[in-house]
Structure 1
Amino acid sequence: MSAAAFVSDTGVLLGRTLRHVTRSVDTIVTTAITPVAIMLLFVFVLGGAIQTGTGSYIDYMLPGILLITVASGVSYTAYRLFMDLSSGIFERFQSLPIARSGVLWAHVLTSLLANTASLVLVVAVALLLGFRTGADPAGWLAASGILILFTLALTWLAVIPGLTAKTVDGASAFSYPLILLPFVSSAFVPTASMPGPVAWFAQYQPVTPIVDSLRALFAGQPVGGGLWVALAWLFGILIVAYLAAIAIYRRRIR
């Protein structure tokens, strides 16, 4: 099949999955409203009691909120894939002269677009709450690239339970640890304030270098070597998740 046919088929299937997103109220609430509610909670309830030594608390914690936004949003990729498999629509698609991988890519691109919209909303609310940035256009571009990589990595990770889960709850439950992971990182408090073993885990898990890199980019400060650690985590997770998801998908469609 030609590249043009693949792009055309994927575009049609992408329109289908995007319509499902816009018609689902609970998807909009979970992916956009919930992260905003968490941000409001930290800023107005907990922020006054947390000392970060870096000025405005919303400037400190926004990167963590952005990662939580993506982590909560990709759970719907697993959910939508599971529902498509359960309804038999995959078998119907396989009987049509369309690109087989187009079905999977449509779900991935839907996740990327939906999560991008949620991230824009969260940043807009943060600006209203007092978030200020010293980033130049290159800094914003770099931060956007990190968030896109993070979204793609978690989306392909979400494809795996979407294809293998036995129940709808199992398909979306994988995201819960991902949502909780930023809370045990430098996203909301410095890792130095944590007990020894917790601080060690927080320092060396993937969320911390990603959050620290985003925070430095937003502040217009040098990122340092932490950026390369963040990119290594992101590309590593993306490649492994993509290869595993494609292998599982090929077995399923056979």
Structure 2
Amino acid sequence: MFRDATLIFRSELLLARRSLLRMGLEIAQPITWLLLFAPLMVGVMKDSPGFLTGNAWMVMTPAITIYLVLMGSAFTGYKLLSDLSTGVLERMRVTPASRTALLLGNVMMRMFQTTIQSMLVFLMAWILFDLPITVIGTLLTLAVGALLTLTLTSCSVTVALLAKNEPIFTTMISTGLLPLTLLSGILMPITPGLAPEWLYILSRCNPLTWVADLARATFTGYYAFQPVVIGGTLLVAITVMSLWWGTRTFNREIL
């Protein structure tokens, strides 16, 4: 199965290489976020009560990568719907490759893309703002982003299979994505001193909040129990559940 998934990943990579415009836009996106959005939020967050350990740039840089993972992975189902409508999946279905490998190949491609984007963000932040980036912190943060990509891509593909058409898929993803993003504190940390009590409690019920805290903790080297142990355990748990849900739905729907 892994060999089949790798072959599908390589084919997707070859297709991506032929689209220079798409590659350029995906590279420009993280740089744009870092240069045009981060300075604004850094100024706002300097005096925010309950601010996390580390300077503002150290907190914002991993947050941008998590946001890019969220936006990129959540809409991966569009490609699946396109493959369904054009008959690509129908042709792939008759090959010896397992249906699980078909899913994993696309997930691996998205993980590769988000990893490259995140590395570009780290590199630009190091060059422009002289952030004290460490190898261990960078690798751990990339691992967090990769697991989150796996989770969101699996969920996106599953929702696309259940929706069956683009308008319903768009509505479902947009409806769920907005509150999850706002309550996660990805771009503005939701701290007890900054947010109302009810909003802070609600944010703690959002799994993405713990993932964002985990990414900040690994990047800054702030290895406290809550962000690392609880956040890491929760991330692994939702990754396993989403992968199980995705493969189960994929195997059932792609007959």
What TM-score, normalized to structure 1? 0.82
Partner of 2:233: 232
Quick one: which amino acid aligns to residue 151 of structure 1? T
Query: Does the Cα contact within 8 Å between 2:54 and 2:220 map onto a contact in 1?
Result: no
Q: Give 3-state SS (helix, strand or coil) of 1:191's partner.
A: coil
Partner of 1:167: 165
Quick one: which amino acid aligns to residue 158 of structure 2? I
2:21 maps to 1:25: yes
In structure 2, relative to structure 1, the CA distance for the partners of 1:173 and 1:14 (3 Å cut) is farther
2:63 maps to 1:64: yes
| CA-to-aligned-CA distance 1:68-103 (integer Å, 9 cap, x gap) | 111122145211111111111222122233333322
Partner of 2:80: 81
Aligned residues: 247
Partner of 2:145: 147
In structure 2, relative to structure 1, the CA distance for the partners of 1:179 and 1:68 (3 Å cut) is farther
Calculate the aligned-residue CA RMSD, in Å: 2.7
List alignment gaps of at least 5 residues for structure 1.
1-5
Report sequence identity in percent: 24
Q: Give 3-state SS (helix, strand or coil) of 2:81's partner.
A: helix
Partner of 1:106: 105
Q: Give 3-state SS (helix, strand or coil) of 2:164's partner.
A: coil
In 1: Cα distance, 2:189 partner to 2:245 partner:
34
Partner of 1:211: 212
In structure 2, relative to structure 1, the CA distance for the partners of 1:76 and 1:110 (3 Å cut) is farther
Q: Give 3-state SS (helix, strand or coil) of 1:128's partner.
A: helix
| CA-to-aligned-CA distance 1:169-222 (integer Å, 9 cap, x gap) | 444555544466344334323422012221222233222222222222222233
List alignment gaps of at least 5 residues for structure 2.
none
In 2: Cα distance, 1:72 partner to 1:234 partner:
18
Bigger Cα displacement from structure 2, 174-183 vs 216-225: 174-183
In 2: Cα distance, 1:27 partner to 1:197 partner:
42
In 2: Cα distance, 1:87 partner to 1:194 partner:
47
Query: Does the Cα contact within 8 Å between 1:81 and 1:107 map onto a contact in 2?
Result: no
Query: Does the Cα contact within 8 Å between 1:32 and 1:69 map onto a contact in 2?
Result: no
Bigger Cα displacement from structure 2, 173-182 vs 8-17: 173-182
Query: Does the Cα contact within 8 Å between 2:59 and 2:220 map onto a contact in 1?
Result: no
Partner of 1:248: 249
* TM-superposed deviation, 1:116: 1.0
In structure 2, relative to structure 1, the CA distance for the partners of 1:145 and 1:45 (3 Å cut) is closer
* TM-superposed deviation, 1:143: 2.5
In 2: Cα distance, 1:131 partner to 1:180 partner:
33
| CA-to-aligned-CA distance 1:79-136 (integer Å, 9 cap, x gap) | 111111111122212223333332222111111111111111122222233152364x
In structure 2, relative to structure 1, the CA distance for the partners of 1:155 and 1:91 (3 Å cut) is same
Partner of 1:189: 189
2:37 maps to 1:42: yes
| CA-to-aligned-CA distance 1:38-81 (integer Å, 9 cap, x gap) | 33333333432332455632212122211111112214521111
What TM-score, normalized to structure 2? 0.82
